[in-house]
Amino acid sequence: MKKGIHPTNYRTVVFRDESADVNYIIRSTVKTNKTITIDGQEYPLVLLDISAASHPFFTGKQKFVDTAGRVDRFNRRYAKNASAAKTGADKRK
């Protein structure tokens, strides 16, 4: 390994999978402003949408995760396009 290219600021961090309520306590250099207290110790916290505990490939179960409201955004966008197409078709008649 080359010297001087690897980070030296490793610290213990908690990665939390919100969809499976699982915590992973590992060492990382990731930066975050959130913290969590586990067993009386405070750790930096990184929130995950999906991990091995909730991913269908590892669990064998299909699970729908919509944390960002993607379906709602799609429905709103589609409703706008459908209404615009309908009014455009009405004008052509």
Mean pLDDT, rounded, for 1-12: 87
- Asked whether the predicted pLDDT for residue 29 surpasses 80, the reply is yes
What is residue 13's predicted lDDT score, i.e. its pLDDT?
95
Rg (CA), the chain: 22
What is residue 21's predicted lDDT score, i.e. its pLDDT?
85
- Asked whether the predicted pLDDT for residue 92 surpasses 70, the reply is no
List the chain domain ranges: 1-62, 64-93
- Asked whether the predicted pLDDT for residue 58 surpasses 80, the reply is no
| Burial of 32: CB neighbours in 10 Å, binned 0-12, 13-18, 19+ | middle
Quick one: pLDDT band at residue 66, thresholds 50, 70, 90?
A: low
Exposure of 10 in the CB half-sphere (CA atoms within 13 A): 7
**pTM of the shown model:** 0.58
What is residue 30's predicted lDDT score, i.e. its pLDDT?
93
